[in-house]
């Protein structure tokens, strides 16, 4: 699964949370949405670091 899929699951949890009347179920769904969102962020973090490293390398090479 990728970050976009994790975000889709988070959104589904939030949509379900809006429809649920039981406060405990609503809280569980919101917690699940938060977990899915964190997974999406963690999945993207290594890619963002790689892009930043590549940009720094290119910047150093262009200055040389």
pLDDT of residue 45: 76
Residue 2 makes CB contacts below 8 A (sequence gap 6+) with 43
pTM value surpassing 0.85: no
Q: What is the pLDDT, as a whole number, of residue 33?
A: 97
Low-confidence ranges of the chain (pLDDT < 70): 47-64
CB of 17 closer than 8 Å to CB of 30: yes
Question: What's the pLDDT at 44?
Answer: 84
Are 20 and 26 in contact, with CB atoms under 8 Å apart? Answer: yes
Q: Show me where the domains of the chain are located.
A: 3-63
């Amino acid at each position: 699964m990728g970050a976009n899929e994790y975000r889709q699951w988070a959104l589904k949890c939030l949509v379900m949370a809006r429809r649920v009347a039981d406060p405990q179920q609503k809280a569980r769904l919101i917690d699940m949405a938060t977990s899915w969102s964190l997974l999406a962020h963690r999945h993207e973090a290594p890619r963002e670091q790689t892009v930043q490293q590549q940009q720094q390398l290119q910047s150093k090479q262009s200055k040389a």
